[in-house]
Amino acid sequence: MNFKISKRIFFNALSVVSRAISANSPLPWLTGIKIEIKDGELTLTGSDSDISIQKVILKNDEDYVFEVLAEGSIVIEAKYILDIVRKIDADEINVQVLDGNLTKISGHSAEFNINGMKSSEYPSIDFTMPTKQFEINADQLLKIITQTSFATSDKETRPVLTGVNFKCEGNILECVATDSFRLAKKTIKLDGENRFNVTIPAKTLGEVAKTIERDVKVLICISDKKAQFWIDNTVIQTRLIDGLYPETSRLIPQEFLYELTLDSRDILNAIDRASFIKSEGVSIIKLSASGKEILISSKSQEVGSSLEKLTAIHYKGNPLEISFSGRYVFDAVRVLNGTVVKIEFSGEMKPFIIRNAEDDTILQLILPVRTYS
């Protein structure tokens, strides 16, 4: 194998596929990037067996240098090739497999000879595209990820809750995440009809968010075992999380006794300030509403107390007092990306709903906290 390529293009591609690689993999080949030249194309592959990323670089004389001198393949440990390519001070990089697995990486006056691994020993990864497919704007997909994945669980006791559930019936896609104490739901309308119900790891969605740009289309392909995200010549493939995702629709209240509308910046800033007061490392905030006067308070025997008054844009209902996790509500309001937030309550110890007053496709649910004075 022997090829020349623009350093910028090569390094960016290596950086993308390396995100799937675990340095602590028990399989030596999975600590490396598979580099293959075939039919005039450069294919880079990285995987930890759960997430796999593959990027193809095509010949393009106008935008960058890419010249194939000999076909072949090799696996090189990711941390080595990334550091080498980063530090070579040259516009072009030459990669050449010499005797056996010894690989020369050079540019300008610098030359490195690195021991690679046989690509024939690299695990076989099936990137065949599943038949269930739909296309979505990158901006929409980014909103799905940022507005839901933060609510997934970080505990492996219930693995299915560590992912976001993608459920499609007809042309309506519902994406739900919950850790049992809060829930985030995003709904979008697709151009075509489909039917599936799968749970995608939050970790994978995080890698997708790092890879996509806002002005592109993303093709999502889903089967019973895997999901793929195709972004131009890059595919991110993930195993799905096994297990039945809990039915969450019954958790969402349909009737409300209280309704509060606030400037989102006001409540974010007030919660941020009140969260300074923590009890055993946890910030519990109390919201007291009476008319348009809203009180945000927190109290801790170890630290002290805080109290801040806010003016509501609108309040409907009798006086209300409710306590909740400051971090949970802060996270929920922050991802709404709206200037006005609407909070609806069914009772002081019942789940409450947080919405963007100008966007009904996103919903956040929070469980209140019981406090003792």
The secondary element (H helix, E strand) that includes residue 307 is strand 304-311
Residues ≥6 apart with Cβ < 8 Å to 234: 16, 53, 54, 55, 56, 211
Beta partners for residue 344, in sequence order: 259, 353
Shared domain for 265 and 242, answered yes or no, is: no
> Does the residue 217 lie in any domain?
yes
pLDDT tens for 318-338 read 999 999 999 999 999 999 988
CA distance 256 to 343: 10
> Does the residue 127 lie in any domain?
no
Shared domain for 258 and 350, answered yes or no, is: yes
Domain boundary among 193, 223, 249: 249
> Does the residue 372 lie in any domain?
no
> Does the residue 163 lie in any domain?
yes
Domain boundary among 249, 279, 308: 249
Beta partners for residue 297, in sequence order: 286, 307
CATH number at residue 65: 3.10.150.10
- Token pair of 270, please? 């007030």
> Does the residue 334 lie in any domain?
yes
Query: Which pLDDT value is given to residue 373?
Result: 56
Query: Which pLDDT value is given to residue 61?
Result: 59
Beta partners for residue 182, in sequence order: 366
Shared domain for 211 and 288, answered yes or no, is: no
Shared domain for 319 and 295, answered yes or no, is: yes
Shared domain for 207 and 258, answered yes or no, is: no
Shared domain for 261 and 212, answered yes or no, is: no
> Does the residue 126 lie in any domain?
no
What is the number of H-type helices and E-type strands within the chain? 6, 24
Q: What pTM, to 2 d.p., does this model score?
A: 0.92
> Does the residue 371 lie in any domain?
no
CATH number at residue 352: 3.70.10.10
Total domains in the fold of the chain: 3
Query: Which pLDDT value is given to residue 271?
Result: 95
Q: Contact, 238 vs 200, CB < 8 A?
A: yes
Q: Contact, 323 vs 296, CB < 8 A?
A: no
Shared domain for 35 and 106, answered yes or no, is: yes
> Does the residue 373 lie in any domain?
no
Q: Is the dihedral of CA 57, 59, 61, 62 positive or negative?
A: negative
Per-residue tens of pLDDT for the chain, all 373 residues: 999 999 999 999 999 999 999 888 888 899 999 999 999 999 999 999 999 999 999 987 567 889 999 999 999 999 999 999 999 999 999 999 998 899 999 998 899 999 999 999 999 999 999 999 999 999 999 999 999 999 999 998 999 999 999 999 999 999 999 999 999 999 999 999 999 999 999 999 999 999 888 789 999 999 999 999 999 899 999 999 999 999 999 999 999 999 999 999 999 999 999 998 887 778 899 999 988 889 999 998 788 889 999 999 999 999 999 999 999 999 999 999 889 999 999 999 999 999 999 999 999 999 999 876 5
Shared domain for 178 and 191, answered yes or no, is: yes
CA distance 230 to 167: 19
Query: Which pLDDT value is given to residue 219?
Result: 97
Shared domain for 142 and 179, answered yes or no, is: yes
Long-range contacts of 188-195 (CB under 8 A, 24+ apart): 188/136, 188/140, 188/144, 188/361, 190/134, 190/136, 191/134, 191/135, 192/134, 194/132, 194/134, 194/168, 194/170, 195/132, 195/168, 195/169, 195/170
Query: Which pLDDT value is given to residue 62?
Result: 65
Residue 149: domain span: 132-249
Shared domain for 90 and 154, answered yes or no, is: no
Shared domain for 318 and 214, answered yes or no, is: no
Domain boundary among 73, 88, 121: 121
Shared domain for 233 and 323, answered yes or no, is: no
pLDDT tens for 145-184 read 999 999 999 998 999 999 999 999 999 999 999 999 999 9
